[in-house]
Structure 1
Amino acid sequence: MPDTGISELVRNWIDGWVVSRGGSDPIEEPWGWTIVVGQAQHVARHVLPRPVESDVRKIAAATSAPGTWLKLFVEDEAVLPWVGPGWRLDAPAFLMTCHLSPGRPEVPAGYTLTSWSRGGVTRALVRTLDGHFCARGQIAHTGAHAVVDQVETAAEHRRKGLGALVLRTLQNTAYQAGATTGVLVGSREGQALYTSLGWTTRSPMASLWYEPSPTAQ
């Protein structure tokens, strides 16, 4: 079950996510927040830290725009019965946190690491010596909290410590900027990496998007 501070943690994640992705300021709702994202496949998202069946049913029933997402901080199985046709379930995800500390990891032989900051977001990029993409990630600084986002490693370069290199680089940057707590939402695969690096799982997150079949539109 989510801990008692889940609403505050989710808000911290949202504040960093909108900086990282360039979303709108969160719009306060009785059940959580709405964010306008403005992409064809991700028009907007409704975020419910403590979803209640009646609220989810109302939101789902009132949704007609494809590319609308629901982010619900409970297990997938709990919310699937609450939404109707046209709602698709994304892979399981998990809200995680860690205490930030300093430390500059070593770059493995055969790779280069580049990092830069702009607009409150720091990005880290790992490439081969001849410039081929290997891994990346970014982190948004929002005061005492820093939100890790879009960490990925190319398939042919996995299990070489590059994901850990990216994450530790981002964490160190955020620590140097004054943040004390890291927040992220990761996939099940990412959860294993983050746990090994000292992150703690705070809540599952069910993620659904609206994509009705052509005949239903």
Structure 2
Amino acid sequence: MHIQVDSDSESARYVLTGPHTGRARELASHTAASNFWIKWPATRDEAQPTMPDGWRLVEPQFLMSARLARAAPTLPYGYSLTMDDEGSALEAKVMTDSGALAASGRLGLTALAVPDQIVTQVAHQRRGLGKAIMGALSNAALDRGRSEGILLASGQGRHLYEALGWRVLSPFWAAVHHA
């Protein structure tokens, strides 16, 4: 599956649904865009894949799922949360009272709710902002008839999601191209 992302850290990605390291290498050999990602499920026991020049393997990723539950997102003093509806996707942002972006996240709406790019800026971490973003996105998904969620988590994100009731289905390899 090809997904256009268009963020500063990720232009687009391929997500493969099976342990197809050979297919990941083939896609990588035909992709020259900077900040392009390829992600695919694979067990930790599999040999570390080799990728073409310009590609780098990154920290482990984890496919996770959850049955969504209604949340009451709370924010510390000095922060506010907004939600922008983009049709098939939603974007949640936590802003400071001075207008600085503190945290954000997106929610893709397919048959499942797909949280993506949940990021808390370093200066605002450890204040519950990621939990507030996930709560707001879960509520939005439930409001739109989705009760199940799926996401790809980084190693750091995995801890947040597990604390919110998400469970790991499979580890994922991830590779990024730097032109």
TM-score tier by shorter-chain length is: 0.7 to 0.9
Q: Describe the shift of the 1:181–1:36 C-alpha distance in structure 2 as closer, same or farther (beyond 3 A).
A: closer
Please give the secondary structure, in 1, of the residue aligned with 2:46: helix
Correspondences of 1:94-133 after superposition (within 5 Å): 94-133=62-101
Alignment of 1:92-171 (within 5 A): 92-143=60-111, 145-171=112-138
Cα gap change, 1:103/1:90 in structure 2, threshold over 3 Å: closer, same or farther?
A: same
Q: How far apart, CA to CA, are the structure 2 residues paired with 1:50 and 1:201?
A: 16
For 2:29, the equivalent position in structure 1 comes to 63
Unaligned ranges ≥5, structure 2 = none
3-state SS of 1:80 partner: coil
2:18 paired with 1:50: yes
The 1:110–1:142 alpha-carbon spacing in structure 2 relative to 1, beyond 3 Å, is same
Q: Which residue of 2 aligns with 1:176?
A: 143
Higher relative contact order (CA 8 A, sep 6+): 2
Whether 1:209 and 2:160 are equivalent positions in the alignment is no
Structure with greater helix percent: 1
Indicate the SS of the match to 2:161: helix
**2:37 maps to 1:78:** no
- TM-score normalised to the size of structure 1? 0.70
- 1:18 equivalent in structure 2: none
Q: Which has the larger radius of gyration?
A: 1
Task: Give the 3-state SS of the residue equivalent to 1:66 in structure 2.
Answer: coil
Equivalent residue pairs, number? 176
Letter in 2 for 1:189: Q
Mapped partners of 2:81, 2:23: distance in 1: 45
Structure 1 residue runs without a partner (length 5+) = 1-32, 213-217
**TM score, norm. by length of structure 2:** 0.83
Check the 8 A contact 1:96/1:199 in 2, yes or no.
yes
